[in-house]
Amino acid sequence: MNDRILYRQLEYRQLFDDMACLMEKTDRGEIEAADRERLYGLVNGLAELAGSHGFRGNIWHSYLAYELADNENAFSTACEKKGKVNGSINAFACHDFQIFKKMFDYPLERIDQACGTDVMSVVTDYACVNEDSRIFNKRIRDRIQELSVHLAQAESPEAYLDIVTGFYLECGVGKLGLHKAFRVKGKGPEAQIEPITNIEHVYLKDLIGYERQKAKLTENTEAFLEGRRANNCLLYGDSGTGKSSSIKALMNEYYGRGLRMIEIYKHQLEELPYIIAQIKDRNYKFILLMDDLSFEDFEIEDKYLKAIIEGGLEKRPDNVLIYATSNRRHLIREKFSDKRERQDDLHGNDTVQEKLSLVARFGIQIYYGAPEKKEFQEIVQKLADRWHIDMPAEQLLLEANAWELNHGGLSGRTAIQFITHLSGRKG
């Protein structure tokens, strides 16, 4: 069972190895007392996996399907780009699928009989306490479950080849295919992207107002997804106006069309070349999100960002865009003292251009301004309707006006905080 060629590096390999050992020892009639402990450990691992991923039914089959869906190798990453591929690699894949088929088809009740236990009937018909996955969205979790059912019914490794290939083409493979959002972990050559599993499910329709801004943002993003030319975007303006939420909403709107988002902080800009190297050849479109971006005049991180956007020797890949938000339009802080210092600068204009050169690299700049009083009240009323706040309109707006005076002024964020306060208030 361990002579796999392509699917060697399994995420939960111990579960696979323990089950293979129990199957082989059961067939040879060599089950020992210690194997009962191995079996209980295996079942515990499957139950934990079901709890975190929301699997149900035959959770052994769900586990096997998950390993196939998650494994990035030469075969799976080729299939995510163009579906079924030609060449000798299909023979290697079928070799491994023959092993997986044996694992799928093995009658697990035989292990129960050999060990004198009664746990496999639960493994094959598992009712999950909470079917909400902490790892995947519902669509991907359900597709992995469907994959497990189809593989259990497949009659040959060649049938596995067609089923698994179809899954890769539709859903992708590995962490980049099965997740929406990522963060950066590590520094230098060790920098890696890791999935963010608990994300905010906000959509563009949830953001009240700013229709012109959202339209401009979606137009550019759709051009990017369709392989047309698109610009890097800077969303700037007043705080609490929905700049970050607009970009995060794109991730939920367009995930099904291959959009992925990687959150990068200012101190991680030096790692950008290593991150881009990991994603530039994948069959997805990546937005690098830099939220609340700004630089002090003594900081040098902006130089790394300039080189990536435009100006370095290596061209930015066609499947990568940078979307940033900032309360400052020009990103790099300027002080009145800078003007006095430039009076002594023989090339003062060059200094100005240097500070403006970063923002100029963002082809689209979208302004989000604080709402007027009437617009703020409209946002409050629409949010109150959405959250089923039962309060006379006159009282609602009176309390909203009082709230914004003491909690940050007129903004969408203040309106949401006010409605959250009302919904959590007793009575």
Does residue 260 sit in the same domain as residue 279? yes
Asked if 10 and 87 touch (Cβ cutoff 8 Å), the reply is no
Q: Is 8 among the domain residues?
A: no
**Structural domains counted in the chain:** 3
Average of pLDDT values for 250-256?
91
pLDDT > 70 in the chain, percent: 89
Does residue 127 sit in the same domain as residue 236? no
pTM of the model: 0.80
Q: What is the pLDDT of residue 275?
A: 93
Q: Report the alpha-carbon distance of residue 272 to residue 397 in Å, rounded.
A: 46
Q: Is 236 among the domain residues?
A: yes
Does residue 44 sit in the same domain as residue 127? yes
Does residue 165 sit in the same domain as residue 207? no
Does residue 81 sit in the same domain as residue 48? yes
Asked if 61 and 104 touch (Cβ cutoff 8 Å), the reply is yes
Q: Report the alpha-carbon distance of residue 64 to residue 23 in Å, rounded.
A: 15
Does residue 125 sit in the same domain as residue 262? no
Model confidence band, residue 68 (pLDDT cutoffs 50, 70, 90): very high
The mean pLDDT value of the chain amounts to 88
Does residue 200 sit in the same domain as residue 305? yes
Does residue 220 sit in the same domain as residue 128? no
pLDDT of 293-352, one tens digit each?
Answer: 877 665 666 677 777 776 555 677 899 999 999 987 766 655 544 555 545 554 444 444
Q: Is 188 among the domain residues?
A: yes
Does residue 186 sit in the same domain as residue 130? no
Q: Is 4 among the domain residues?
A: no
Q: How far is CA 278 from CA 165, 191, 281, 335, 422, in A?
A: 22, 10, 8, 39, 46
Does residue 163 sit in the same domain as residue 235? no
In one letter, which amino acid is 398?
Answer: L
Model confidence band, residue 135 (pLDDT cutoffs 50, 70, 90): confident
Average of pLDDT values for 186-194?
92
pLDDT at 11 over 80: yes
Model confidence band, residue 171 (pLDDT cutoffs 50, 70, 90): confident
Task: For residue 358, give its domain range.
Answer: 181-368
Does residue 173 sit in the same domain as residue 189? no
Q: What is the pLDDT of residue 336?
A: 44
